[in-house]
Amino acid sequence: MIVAEIAHGITRALTLVPLVGQFRSNQIGVFTGSAILLGLATLSIRWIGPTRRRDLLQAGAVWVVLTLAFELLFGRFVAGLSWQQLCADYNMLQGGLMPIGLAVLFVAPWLAAWFRGIRITT
pLDDT tens for 90-99 read 999 988 899 9
Report the pLDDT averaged over residues 35-61: 94
Report the pLDDT averaged over residues 56-61: 95
Question: 3-class secondary structure for the chain?
Answer: CHHHHHHHHHHHHHHCHHHHCHHHHHHHHHHHHHHHHHHHHHHHHHHHCCCEHHHHHHHHHHHHHHHHHHHHHHHHHHCCCCHHHHHHCCCHHHCCCHHHHHHHHHHHHHHHHHHHCCCCEC
Q: Say which residue, 48 or 106, is predicted with more confidence.
A: 106
- The reported pLDDT for the residue numbered 34 is 95
Sorting pLDDT into bands at 50, 70 and 90, what band is 53? Answer: very high
- The reported pLDDT for the residue numbered 2 is 85
Share above pLDDT 70 across residues of the chain, in percent, rounded to a whole number? 100
For residue 26, is pLDDT > 90? no
Closest CA to 57 of 119, 106, 113, 118: 106
